[in-house]
Amino acid sequence: MCRLAPMRLLFATTAGMGHFGPLAPFALAAVDAGHDVIVAAPGGFERTVREGGFEFWPLGERSQADAGALFARIGAAGSFQASNILMLRDGYAGVFARAALPAMLSLFEAWRPDVVVREAAELASLATAGRYGIPHVRVATGLVATERLILEAVAGPVGDLLAEAGAAAESATLIDEPLLSLTPASFEPPEHRALAHRFRAERVARTPSAPAGPPAVYVTFGSEAAGQGHFPLLYRTVIDALADLDVDLVVATGRAADPAGLGPLPRRVRVERWVDQGLELASAQAVVHHGGYGTLLGALAAGVPQIAMPLFSIDQQINAERVTEMGAGLMIGAAEDLPRLPGPSADGPKVRTAVARVLATTTYRERSEAFARDIAALPTAMEAIALIAALASG
């Protein structure tokens, strides 16, 4: 592709790999294309951003008092659905966005971006772009169904946030922006397939071949679950449920947990705080996970069948349900069914039955490999930069 004139591109995210992960391929592509890139995120997320090789701009973080009041309201919500809507409306569009807004305004004053590239839960950049008339795009952190749910939940508070940032009243319509997605259209319902510009990361994991020895099963509940009270009980339950299957088990706990907390492990079980997920999926025959978008996409790209167990977020349930609907694996339970924190436990026998069924049934792998081919055929994230440049040029 022809080289574009250098642009200033702001990538804006809330903290957490589930939010930043989908942005990263586009930010890397922008850097590789020679553009000036800054990633703005809450200050506590600096290490992750800098480890990705990006320049970082710290945003303010919620106060302990505001966070405590927010989570008290969420804890008192009458249902899983209600608690998730509260988190979106009062958390991401309220407490989090207002904490980030002063530093975001300062960033725009000091370094006026040509285009803002944000993820759906990061709303301070949207409000500030509205104030300065800066074009912006949104990167999906889930399926289109998740994106629509987020937009509906935050629509009211965003108007207040735009006013607080000094944006014109008519800027409220700016939340309807171009959507970039890493999900292949074939995995979405037909009515959602044309609602996003779809790309893939530069590097796609190879589809694993049949193993010479016992099948490998990879278990991850993402980077957040262990720190939210799910460790060690959930992890130990899954390990014990799969210990007598003829499999090699690799478990990633996330940096918030010490694997030693799991106690003595059965043979052929390896537990690490952090692994290269792409490498693990390249050799796995099945993955057990929480329905997070990053693991969902990684498994689809590698052609690996999934056993999805939603834990704490409504997008996880949407993803897990779609895995089952599309024949790429199985869903166990639902987040609504899990006890409140601390430490829900999986149903061990159901986990074992699901993993055994997925390993024994070739159609799950065949469907997963079909999605891997669809992802490999997508244009790369580098090609999204031309779309972003078109926005900058008006």
In the chain, where the domains are located: 8-200+378-392, 216-376
- What is the structure's pLDDT at 335? 55
Is domain 216-376 annotated with CATH 3.40.50.2000? yes
Q: Mind listing the pLDDT tens digit for each residue in 292-301? A: 999 999 999 9
Give the integer Cα–Cα distance in Å for 251 and 300. Answer: 19
Which of helix, strand or coil describes residue 272?
strand
- Kindly report the backbone phi and psi dihedral angles of residue 250, in degrees, each rounded to the nearest multiple of 5, phi listed first: -115, 125
Give the integer Cα–Cα distance in Å for 91 and 352. Answer: 36
Q: Which fold has domain 8-200+378-392?
A: Rossmann fold (3.40.50)
- What is the structure's pLDDT at 394? 67
- What is the structure's pLDDT at 213? 78
| Beta-sheet strands, E only, within the chain | 8-12, 36-42, 55-59, 115-119, 136-139, 179-181, 197-198, 216-220, 248-252, 269-272, 286-289, 306-308, 329-331
Query: Tokens 């043979």 label which residue?
Result: 267
Q: The tokens of 248 are what?
A: 């090699």
Q: Which of 85, 48, 73, 45 is nearest to 313 (CA)?
A: 85
Give the integer Cα–Cα distance in Å for 166 and 161. Answer: 9
- What is the structure's pLDDT at 344? 45
8-200+378-392 and 216-376: same fold? yes
- Kindly report the backbone phi and psi dihedral angles of residue 389, in degrees, each rounded to the nearest multiple of 5, phi listed first: -65, -35
Q: pTM (2 decimals)? A: 0.92
- Counting as low any pLDDT under 70, the low residues of the chain are 1-4, 168-175, 203-212, 226-227, 334-345, 394
